[in-house]
Chains A and B, each alone.
Chain A
């Protein structure tokens, strides 16, 4: 029991960027664009956040907020980087998977290149703090068990993630904008005939996904690492896609899937301490999100859970 309670902070730390990036993916996919490039956008976000954090840390007035300013910069960078996906996939009618793969490959090259230019090495310099844990949330941390699990020694990123889940749910399922966005992912031609600008909605979807993925990348590097390197994101962008599928393209599902994957990942590093679980190699825990997603895909198949027009190029002249 103690081990499980003590796992919470690290599981939540891992879960937060997965959830936020998956919410980003939700915007893109609901608008009809598959965002394979989440991994790459997260890499860009991580690089920018780490760099800003390193450069601002010693600044006397801004130093204390360096981490959060870094996250903000990561969001902007992610959004800008996702413009490449939007232009290619929406306006130039590129295959979304190919364009996304190109952006994934480009991101590591570009970021490590810039590290070499700025820091003269293949990684950024290390920052001393990043985003720090909240020691004790007043009052709430005194609640027995739950207080230890959720309100002490925890990174604030998970709170941001939960707030965003609620926000995304209302935006996507309870507003006219959300309805229009989803319609572009289901049947863009019908949306167009109802007067919705499909191109514009898809642009918004991709840009928001860039914003979220950039934020996720920034938070990930600032909470789980001390510097940015080529392997900083190591597949979490794809776990986010897995969480999106496993969560049935729905914000609450994403929250559950993200926390679950966070736990399976935290278990991987601690399993050796727990009897019975230590019989299973840690690599197995790393595989869980991917394998379960394939199972989920089979279970969901034929039930039209995924956005229908996802991945299809929108061509106004083609019916």
Chain B
């Protein structure tokens, strides 16, 4: 199946529109006000609400929610470009959060270095958690999908244990992470009407640029892409495919771990005992696919899915069950997954259009 550059952009857009239309239909069937969906999305994106003016808290929260999604999106996208499906990003996210949380609480350091080191250690935690799926894939030809799923739950349960045994932890959370070791900022919070906005956005920007640079501009990135595109061909060209498989899934894990660190150090500023998966890793699949696995696309898609998450609370207060946002975002993944069908419809539509054009020009020709 050949997908042109133009269709690469068109298909995700169609999927997004189809997902929103599905959401509208469900809301309408339940006899609720469809318009509230759009006012909630508008309020979530801009903070503007008819009647009560501008509230910068919402855009602030939008950025906070989007940041980890962009990072997990970059993580999934990176592995995908290298021919792997890193469904284990969820677990790498959890372990990244755990590592940075341990470091931040147990080894407090002066301000900028401490927090930077905590972030890097979170990333390393994710990378280590991604090492096993990569190794098993190369050594034993075991699908990284199955290993990833199993490690997701292993990460969830073991992280909960290690969070609970930290000194001062309650049954649900750790102590607060010291100010010098977290990303929170009174300044950023105050300019966005007390949102949780933190310095993490700098990390996200660096990660997105690095992603673009590694994949598009370095020979290392080229060899990774070549392996993903055609493993045998790459090996023939002298690329060590086993090594690059392990390295690329570890880079992917680093990005997912960074996302976990960001949530722990920035959004909450304490470690949490998780009762269930938070789906940051799974949502990252959506972000990567909708973003076409390229840096700019992923950033935009991350903001879109962040917007759907932020809109949840607004929807709930306006009388629409908040889960509609989750229905819309998961159906968008579904529609992207069936891009074959979308492409088939597009081709049919194109043929019809060009077909009718042809007959028209023919008729014109005959008339002349």
Contact = CB atoms under 8 A, between A and B. Distances in A.
Interface of A is mostly: helix
Contact of A290 (B1, B153, B277, B327): B153
Given A94-B337, A106-B330, 19 more contacts: A98-B85, A98-B333, A98-B337, A99-B334, A101-B282, A102-B330, A103-B334, A105-B329, A109-B324, A109-B326, A113-B323, A113-B326, A230-B276, A284-B158, A290-B153, A297-B136, A297-B142, A298-B136, A302-B140
A291 B338 contact: no
Interface of B is mostly: helix
Interface string A287-302: 1001101100110011
Interface of A: 34, 36, 84, 87-88, 91-95, 97-99, 101-106, 108-110, 112-113, 116-117, 230-231, 234-235, 238, 241-242, 245, 281, 283-284, 286-287, 290-291, 293-294, 297-298, 301-302, 311
Contacts of B336: 98
Contacts of A281: 161
Query: Which of the four size classes fits the interface of chain B?
Result: 35 or more
Interface string B145-183: 111011111101110110000000000000000000000
A77 B141 CA distance: 36
A113 B324 contact: yes
A298 B142 contact: yes
Contacts of B150: 238, 242, 290-291, 293-294
Contact of A109 (B136, B151, B327): B327
A20 B49 CA distance: 50
Most buried by A among B1, B30, B149, B279: B149
Contacts of B285: 98, 101
B340 A108 contact: no
Contact of B333 (A102, A113, A290, A298): A102
Closest 5 A/B residue pairs (Cβ):
A109-B326, A116-B321, A105-B330, A301-B140, A113-B323
B240 to A, nearest CB: 21
Contacts of B324: 109, 113
B334 A241 contact: no
B338 A94 contact: yes
10 contacts: A91-B341, A97-B145, A99-B337, A101-B282, A109-B325, A117-B321, A234-B276, A238-B152, A290-B153, A291-B150
Given A283-B161, A290-B151, A102 B337 contact: yes
B109 interface: no
Contacts of B331: 102, 106
A235 B259 CA distance: 22
B4 interface: no
Contacts of B145: 34, 36, 97
A246 to B, nearest CB: 10
B341 A92 contact: yes
Most buried by B among A95, A101, A241: A101
Contacts of A293: 146, 150
